[in-house]
Structure 1
Amino acid sequence: MKLISVVAVGAALLTLSGCAATGTSASSQAQHASSNNSSVASATPVVTPTPTKAAPVVTAAAISADLQSKIPQVTHVLQITEDNDPNNLIGRPNEYTQAATLYDSRTPCTDIGADCGATIEIWPSAALATNRVNYIQTELKANPILGTEYDYAHGNAVLRVTGTMKPSDEAGYLAAWNAYFV
């Protein structure tokens, strides 16, 4: 009987000690959980977002200044206004809103327009810019006497480079144009 009493007392003590461990205060358990979680969290690397390059400013002045800085043969830039626009389109409904002519020393010209080197046009929308490129190319293909021209659209901006320029020289314009939008 003594043996049963000793076993019963021992069992009771074990049970009570187990209850004491599980009966620890909530703050003690929270601290324990917190310390366990912090060790897990510190083992996880923190991902820092890579900064992205700001979108380029899409104005005729900004693009033409950038191209002039990259193409040494561009001697000067003329901003086209409603007073000097040879096409008489600037600012009219569904036409370009800004434009600039880049004068290139490889193409002798004193007029205003793409024939002098290149022209940048800014349109109200990307669709209108693409329509402009398609229209010019369609007209030039239908009327070869008008000559040729290299035309590119990016968003609502259009680059027009004279077709009298050698393809290797025009490649410099295209490279500078593409670099501007990267």
Structure 2
Amino acid sequence: MSQTRTMRLAVLAAGTTLLVVGCSASGSGDSKSRPAQSSAAPSASRPAADAAGAYKAIAANVPSAANSAPITAESDPNHLLGRPGQYTSKITFSDSRIKAADTEGLEPGDVALGGAVEVFANPADAQARAAYIQTVTKGMPALTEYDYVHGSTLIRVSHYLTPGQAGEYETAADKLP
């Protein structure tokens, strides 16, 4: 295994450990590096029915999104599905514009492969999760991501996409009910 690949895997493993260990903590903090953006006022939005429905609506507007996989309580690597204040449904997806060489060694369902849609009971929980993710990944470029909050839905998008490509997900999220 090349030294570069070994280093990349070590950084990803360390970051993943931080996310898994810390994901159950309440999300608060500064998310100025790449702020989660709310496309709708929290008080005016209704929760999306579920992550699968939100993903379907997003994928209709972003044709490179594919291979969606619903997360269950048993398969959730973060162990957050259904927990108080956490997402009520989640789906992961890939994006065909991301090069396979960039994601070598990642597990299926990793946000870096494309992204994830997480739906919460209320907009405040979605915003708190986005802020938490931004805080945890702020100093780790290999783990950064684009996060877009639309009401009670958080769309997480891989850092391997350009800002313009990731912005397509934000535009698609604006069309969610």
TM-score in same-fold range (> 0.5): yes
> 1:79, 1:100 within 8 Å by CA — same for their partners in 2?
yes
- Which residue is equivalent to 2:130? 133
Query: Where in structure 2 are the equivalents of 1:91-106 lying within 5 Å?
Result: 91-106=82-97
CA offsets 1:125-154 (integer angstroms, 9 cap, x no match): 21111101111111111x325431111112
Aligned equivalent of 1:70: 61
- When the two chains are superposed, the root-mean-square deviation of aligned CA atoms in Å is 1.9
- Equivalent pair of 1:101/1:114 in contact (CA under 8 Å): yes
The match for 2:30 is none
Q: Does 1:114 align with 2:105?
A: no
Question: Which structure has the bigger radius of gyration?
Answer: 1
Counterparts in 2 of 1:141-160, with a 5 A limit? 141=138, 143-160=139-156
Matches of 1:178 and 1:101, distance apart in 2: 19
2:164 paired with 1:168: yes
Amino acid in structure 2 at the alignment position of 1:137 = Q
Equivalent residues of 2:48, 2:152 under 8 A apart:
no
Q: Is the 8 A contact 2:147 2:154 kept in 1?
A: yes
Secondary structure of 1:127's counterpart equals helix
Flag the structure with more relative contact order, 1 or 2, with Cα contacts below 8 A and sequence separation at least 6: 2
Residues 58 and 157 in structure 1, CA contact (< 8 A), matched pair in contact too: no
Structure 2 unmatched runs, 5+: 1-45
Identity of aligned residues (%): 33
TM-score normalised according to structure 2 size: 0.64
Q: What SS class does the counterpart of residue 150 from structure 1 fall into? A: strand
The 3-state SS of whatever aligns with 1:138 is helix
Higher helix share: 1
CA distance in 2, matches of 1:126, 1:64: 17
**What is the distance in 2 between the residues matched to 1:131 and 1:57?**
17
Q: Conserved in 1, the CA contact under 8 Å of 2:94 and 2:113?
A: yes
Q: Does the CA contact (< 8 Å) of 1:86 and 1:112 recur in 2?
A: no
Contact 1:118 1:162 in 2 (8 A): yes
Gaps of 5+ in 1: 1-54
Q: Is residue 83 of structure 1 aligned with residue 74 of structure 2?
A: yes
The letter for the 2-side match of 1:86 is: P
AA aligned opposite 2:63: P
